[in-house]
């Protein structure tokens, strides 16, 4: 791996795609250790019902959602 890319979390280690909506607009991605978790969206704003649904999926897989940081866009 090029040294300039080593800081990017997706370039080293494993991650799992835990859930993807049918239109590929939202994805839930996590690490096998449950230490890392991302909710990724193609749109800058994710409606609250969808966000909560993805949080429930993360909880189902054993992730601690209390440590998630929701970034404003």
Torsion angle of alpha carbons 52, 58, 61, 63, nearest 10°? -130
Answer yes or no: are the C-beta atoms of 37 and 65 closer than 8 Å.
Answer: yes
Cα distance between residue 62 and residue 68, in whole Å = 13
**pLDDT 10s digits, 25-60:** 999 999 888 889 999 999 999 999 999 999 999 999
**Region 1-17 average pLDDT:** 61
Look at residues 4, 46, 9, 5 and name the one whose alpha carbon lies nearest to residue 26: 46
Mapped onto helix, strand or coil, the DSSP state of residue 55 is helix
26's tokens: 């939202």
């Amino acid at each position: 791996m090029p040294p300039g890319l080593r800081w990017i979390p997706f370039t080293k280690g494993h991650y799992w795609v835990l859930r993807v909506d049918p239109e590929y607009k939202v994805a839930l991605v996590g690490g096998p250790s449950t230490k890392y978790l991302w909710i990724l969206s193609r749109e800058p704003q994710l409606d609250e019902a969808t966000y909560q649904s993805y949080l429930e999926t993360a909880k189902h897989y054993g992730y601690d959602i209390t440590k998630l940081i929701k970034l404003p866009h």
